[in-house]
């Protein structure tokens, strides 16, 4: 575990330290497009954050190759080299897209080529554990097609969800954390070394996301762009392919009594990973809904719009930060819920806990205008938007709105204002402006006469 934590920390440190210089480079290189109709940010922001993430990936693999225990992953498996080859190719395509905005079909072709490169080097699905049947071996063509499909679906799922500051990096980090715990348990609890590459990939992926998040949280100073979103999507897919198609349930049968029992034990994570992943179920659902929505309208499935889940959260009244936290909550609930169920599928407490947390999530989802206020003694521990504001007895210029309400609306974070306070602020401002304009007109008229 210590070597994994060391790899994670070095990956995060390299990514974090390089993101600042990469931001300056992106500004100089002109990788800072104008605001588009579907964007939610207000100022042009540089892209190419994937450059720092890619070098963080390289640093993590390099460090792991020189550690005593993790070196065996490179000695006994070609999967790390396959991951690096595919990641380099998809990263180059993403960099070109961030700068020149290449066609969607070209990007799709590049994603398929990157997946094919990994398949050629051995990172492919060899068999599928099917409930009630057991271990089903796949032919070479079946394994290749399934691997390429899983990589392409995961890349685009992560790419589609990258629409708010910190959203994609945070959700993938949560998914990688759940995946790391699962694969680590398979490796050390059952002694199955085939799960070691997936564990390493998950640790490095967490480091990439954690190192980039401080620069990408709202308000973001830099975006990861397609060079980053497609990269982390590919790394996540590589880990899923490694543990799903490489770990033989026959080895688990030694611990569970039979192959069918082993398959049933791993179903909560194995099968959802193929559809494509439980741990990114929210981005995958967003991907499916986007394809259906655009196809129904007669548009290309890759045509951008403002119909994603995070856009809808903003439309119903959630602030930018709250929408991101809600997406984090659902990703963690699904990912860690599946992880807990895979550990002990017979426990009803896990099911009840997931149901209870789901109810809490629905309440938060349906109360977009609720802003919790903390006690007075804890105000210095929370951000300003959660602190209580004093009430002033004076009235506003229009003598109908309390000044405390207009002051509160003016001082509050624009994204945290409710429609009521925003409307009061705009009405009072318009009244004041109108009064000043009438006085000016009268003054000018008196002067001219």
Domains in the chain: boundaries: 2-36+43-292, 397-443
> What is the per-residue pLDDT for 53?
96
- Helical segments of 218-319, H only: 225-246, 249-256, 259-273, 281-296, 309-315
How far CA 204 is from CA of 23, 117, 199, 414, in Å, comes to 22, 20, 9, 36
C-alpha span between 328 and 310 (Å, rounded): 11
Element (H, E) at 135: strand 134-137
> What is the per-residue pLDDT for 295?
78
The tens place of each residue's pLDDT in the chain, 449 residues long, gives 789 999 999 999 999 999 999 999 999 988 776 665 555 555 778 888 999 999 999 999 999 999 988 888 898 888 999 999 999 999 999 999 988 888 888 999 999 999 999 999 988 888 776 666 666 778 888 889 989 998 998 898 888 787 778 888 998 999 889 889 888 887 777 677 778 888 999 999 999 999 999 998 878 889 898 999 999 999 999 988 888 766 665 555 555 555 455 555 555 445 434 444 565 666 667 677 777 777 777 776 666 656 666 566 666 666 767 778 888 888 888 878 877 777 776 677 888 888 888 888 777 776 665 555 667 777 777 666 566 665 333 334 444 444 444 344 444 444 444 443 444 344 444 444 444 444 344 444 444 43
> What is the per-residue pLDDT for 24?
93
Q: Are 85 and 40 in contact (CB under 8 A)?
A: no
Tell me whether residue 71 is annotated as binding. no
- Measured N-to-C along each axis, helices 403-411 and 419-448 cross at an angle, to the nearest 10 degrees, of 110
Tell me whether residue 135 is annotated as binding. no
């Amino acid at each position: 575990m210590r070597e994994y934590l060391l790899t994670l920390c070095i990956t995060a440190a390299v990514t974090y330290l390089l993101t600042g210089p990469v931001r300056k480079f992106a500004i100089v290189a002109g990788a800072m497009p104008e605001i588009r109709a579907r964007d939610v940010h207000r100022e042009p922001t540089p892209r190419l954050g994937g450059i720092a993430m890619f070098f963080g990936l390289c640093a993590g693999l390099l460090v792991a190759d020189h550690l005593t225990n993790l070196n065996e992953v490179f000695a006994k498996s070609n999967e790390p080299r396959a991951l690096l080859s595919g990641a380099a190719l998809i990263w180059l395509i993403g960099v070109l897209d961030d700068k020149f905005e290449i066609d969607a079909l070209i990007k799709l072709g590049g994603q398929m080529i990157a997946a094919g490169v990994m398949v050629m080097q051995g990172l492919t699905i060899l068999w599928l554990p099917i409930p009630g049947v057991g271990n089903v071996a796949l032919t070479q063509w079946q394994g290749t097609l399934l691997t390429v499909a899983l990589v392409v679906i995961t890349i685009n799922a992560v790419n589609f969800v990258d629409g708010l500051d910190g959203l994609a990096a945070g959700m993938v980090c949560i998914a990688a954390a759940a995946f790391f715990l699962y694969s680590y348990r398979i490796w050390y609890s059952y002694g199955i070394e085939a799960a070691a590459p997936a564990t390493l990939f998950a640790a490095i992926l967490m480091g990439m996301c954690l190192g980039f998040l401080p620069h990408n949280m709202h308000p973001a100073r830099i975006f990861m762009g397609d060079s980053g979103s497609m990269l982390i999507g590919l790394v996540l897919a590589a880990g899923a392919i490694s543990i799903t198609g490489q770990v033989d349930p026959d080895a688990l049968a030694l611990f569970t009594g039979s192959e069918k029992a082993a398959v049933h034990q791993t179903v909560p994570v194995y099968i959802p990973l193929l559809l494509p992943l439980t741990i990114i179920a929210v981005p995958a659902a967003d991907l499916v809904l986007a394809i259906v929505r655009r196809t129904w309208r007669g548009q290309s499935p890759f045509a951008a719009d403002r119909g994603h889940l995070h856009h809808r959260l903003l439309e119903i009244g959630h602030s930018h930060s709250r929408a991101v936290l809600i997406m984090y909550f659902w990703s963690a609930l699904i990912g860690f819920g599946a992880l807990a169920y895979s550990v002990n599928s017979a426990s009803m407490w896990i099911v009840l806990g997931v149901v209870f947390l789901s109810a809490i999530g629905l309440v938060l989802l349906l109360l977009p205008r609720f802003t919790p206020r903390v006690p007075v003694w804890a105000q210095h521990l929370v951000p300003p938007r959660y602190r209580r504001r004093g009430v002033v007895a004076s009235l506003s210029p229009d003598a109908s709105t309390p000044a405390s309400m207009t002051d509160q609306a003016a001082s509050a974070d624009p994204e945290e204002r409710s429609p009521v306070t925003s409307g009061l602020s705009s009405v009072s401002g318009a009244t004041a402006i109108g009064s000043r304009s009438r006085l000016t007109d009268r003054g000018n008229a008196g002067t001219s006469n």
